[in-house]
Amino acid sequence: MILTVTLNTALDLTYRVPALVPHASHRVSQVIERPGGKGLNVARVLGALGHETVVTGFAGGPTGALLRDLLATGTAGLPGTVHDALVPTAGATRRTVAVVDAANGDTTQLNEPGPDITPAEWAAFTTRFTGLLDGARAVALCGSLPPGIHVGAYAELVRLARAAGIPVLLDTSGEPLRRGIAARPDVIKPNTEELAQLTGAREPHRATLDARRRGAHAVVTSLGPEGLLAATPDGLWQAAPPAPVRGNPTGAGDSAVAALLAGLVDGTDWPTRLTHATALSAATVLSPVAGEFDEEAYEALLPRITLTTPSPAS
Q: 185 and 214 in contact (C-beta within 8 Å)?
A: no
Question: Distances in Å between the alpha carbon of 246 and those of 105, 190, 204?
Answer: 8, 21, 22
**Residues in CB range of 9: below 8 A, 6 or more apart:** 35, 36, 37, 39, 40, 57, 58, 59, 64, 67, 86, 93, 94
Cα–Cα distance for residue pair 101/15, rounded to 1 Å: 9
Candidate list 254, 266, 269, 294, residue with the active-site label: 254
Q: Is 294 a catalytic residue?
A: no
Q: Which amino acid is at 243?
A: A
Contact between 310 and 238 (Cβ < 8 Å): yes
279 touches 296 (CB < 8 A)? no
List, by residue number, the catalytic residues: 254
